[in-house]
Amino acid sequence: MELKVLKQKEFTFWHYQIAGWTLFMLMNILQLLFYNVYLGNGALGPELMDTLYNLMLISNFFGFLLTIGMRYIYRTLFKRKSSLRIIMLVVLLVSAVMTFLSQTFDIGLQQLFGFMEENREIAFYKIIYSSSVNVIVFIAWSGLYFGIKYWKQWNVERDRAERASYQAQTAQLKMLRYQLNPHFLFNSLNSISALMDEDKSKSKELLCELSEFLRYSLEQKNLAQIPLKEELKAIRLYLSIEKKRFEDKLLIDYDIQSEAMELPVLSFLLHPLVENAVKYGMKTTALPLRLTISACVQEENLLISVSNSGKLIDPREEHSGTQVGLKNVQDRIQSAFAEGSYCKLEQIDDYVVSTILIKYK
């Protein structure tokens, strides 16, 4: 399945800032309406309500401007990657300063509209109450600012990691294809050349199958995952070519459970295992070489095996390349699927068996 990056609308500071203060303003309006109903519907009077609305609007707009100033302070902290302790100390200090400025502005505004309390004791308690509310608002705003900043940074890093993982898988796939195609092409073209004089129709058929296999290779070059049935289609093409090369020396059998056909696998995952089974099986078994490819579903996981008659070659031998292909498959599986997925190679009686277990969750 090809990695698709969903481009969502990027919300900026201004989207959050305007939306947040608009919501806060609406809450204050609802609070004022509730207070008016509590005192008795219309108790404050329309003129007084209009004045209170204006006071609230101006006070909230001033708070809106103060938090813009806070943004520039916090942005500097964020860019310098300050420690959590420093951030918390600065948040408390800045919130206290902004509360003082906001409270001073509100007192001046109330004096301008003639709302200052004549009773100094009551006025003092109102100032204490409004100051405590303001400092909570500024601290909460600060928490939201840093929370959103770190959340967006985490999303960026996660997307970057996903892209890096996808690019690494794609690079592995390309590297594997570049390793396999040259000598596979060499062998196939040699077979076609040898058949040209003996059986033109058979050589033409082999050439068409080779063309179809290469076309599949090009079509799948940008896909990380495909259904198992598509991977098997490429394997059947490959083995059809090998069958024409070796004729009765190669016997092929498929045992594929229908439920497994639609499950996703990595593109060109089985190719190195099948190629090694043919290449090394021909060297270590009494002909004909018997090759079996099977796949089944076990507890929502996919189990695939490629077995060939013959002996497991010692990896210490210079001519053995089985371990390289196996490691390539193992690394790709572990990076693409759930923990516990694996690829292993073992000798079971007179057969060499490559087993792949793919866990999806």
Structural contact between residues 332 and 289, judged by C-beta atoms closer than 8 angstroms: no
* Lowest model confidence (mean pLDDT) among 181-185, 241-245, 348-352: 181-185
The mean-pLDDT minimum among 35-44, 122-131, 194-203, 342-351 falls in 35-44
Strands 289-298 and 301-309: antiparallel
**More confidently predicted of 83 and 353:** 353
Tokens of 170: 């794609």
DSSP 8-state class, residue 247: G
Q: Is residue 78 pLDDT above 70, yes or no?
A: yes
Label the pairing between strands 289-298 and 250-256. Answer: parallel
Angle of CA points 333, 309, 325, to nearest 5° = 30
Q: What is the pLDDT of residues 141-187, one digit of tens each?
A: 999 999 998 888 888 888 888 777 776 766 665 665 555 556 667 76
Cα distance between residue 301 and residue 97, in whole Å: 59
Q: What is the pLDDT of residue 288?
A: 94
Instruction: Identify the weakest region by mean pLDDT among 43-47, 86-90, 154-158.
Output: 43-47
DSSP SS3 for 12 = coil
Name the pTM for this structure. Answer: 0.52
Instruction: Name the phi and psi angles at 32, rounded to 5.
Output: -65, -40
3-state secondary structure of 225: strand
What pLDDT, on a 0 to 100 scale, did the predictor assign at position 101? 92
CA distances from 187 to 59, 180, 191, 232, 308 (A): 82, 11, 6, 21, 20
Q: Which two tokens stand for residue 120?
A: 């100094």
Identify the DSSP state of 346: E
Considering only CA atoms, which of 46, 42, 62, 59 is closest in space to residue 110? 59
Choose the weakest-confidence range: 7-16, 124-133, 239-248, 261-270: 7-16
Residue 124 clears pLDDT 90, i.e. is over it: no
Predicted pLDDT of residue 115: 67
Could you give the percent of the chain with pLDDT greater than 70?
A: 80
Place of tokens 């098997």: 232
More confident residue, 38 or 269: 269
Q: What is the pLDDT of residue 10?
A: 62
- Cβ neighbours of residue 101 under 8 Å, at least 6 residues apart? 66
Domain boundary assignment for the chain: 13-160, 223-358
The per-residue pLDDT for 189 is: 77
Ranges of H-type helices in 267-321 = 271-284
Which structure tokens are listed for 103?
A: 């409270």
What is the β-pairing status of strands 225-227 and 264-266? Answer: antiparallel
Give the mean pLDDT of 182-200. Answer: 72
Q: What is the pLDDT of residues 92-110, one digit of tens each?
A: 999 999 999 988 888 888 8
Please report, in angstroms and rounded to a whole number, the separation of the first and last CA atoms in the chain: 16
Nearest-5° Cα angle at 237, 347 to 346 = 10
For residues 16-34, give the mean pLDDT. 86
- Which pLDDT band, with edges at 50, 70 and 90, does 2 fall under? very low
Rounded Cα distance, 24 and 139, in Å: 14
- Say what the pLDDT of residue 222 is: 53
**How much of the chain is helix, strand and coil, in % rounded to 5?**
70, 15, 20
Strand segments, DSSP code E, in 46-117 are none
Neighbouring CB atoms inside 10 A of 70's CB total 19
User: How far is CA 59 from its chain centroid?
Assistant: 44
Q: Which residues contact 96 (CB under 8 A, 6 or more apart)?
A: 135
**Distance in angstroms (rounded) separating the CA atoms of residues 202 and 204:** 5
Token representation of residue 328: 């390539």
50 alpha-carbon distance from chain centroid: 52
Contact 268, 237 (CB under 8 A): no
Can you tell me which residue has the tokens 């099986």? 281
Q: Which fold has domain 223-358?
A: Heat Shock Protein 90 (3.30.565)
The predicted-structure confidence for 257-277, as pLDDT tens digits, reads as follows 999 999 999 888 898 899 889
Handedness of CA 112, 114, 116, 118 (dihedral sign): positive
**Secondary structure of 102-170 as H, E, C letters:** HHHHHHHHHHHHCCCCCCHHHHHHHHHHHHHHHHHHHHHHHHHHHHHHHHHHHHHHHHHHHHHHHHHHH
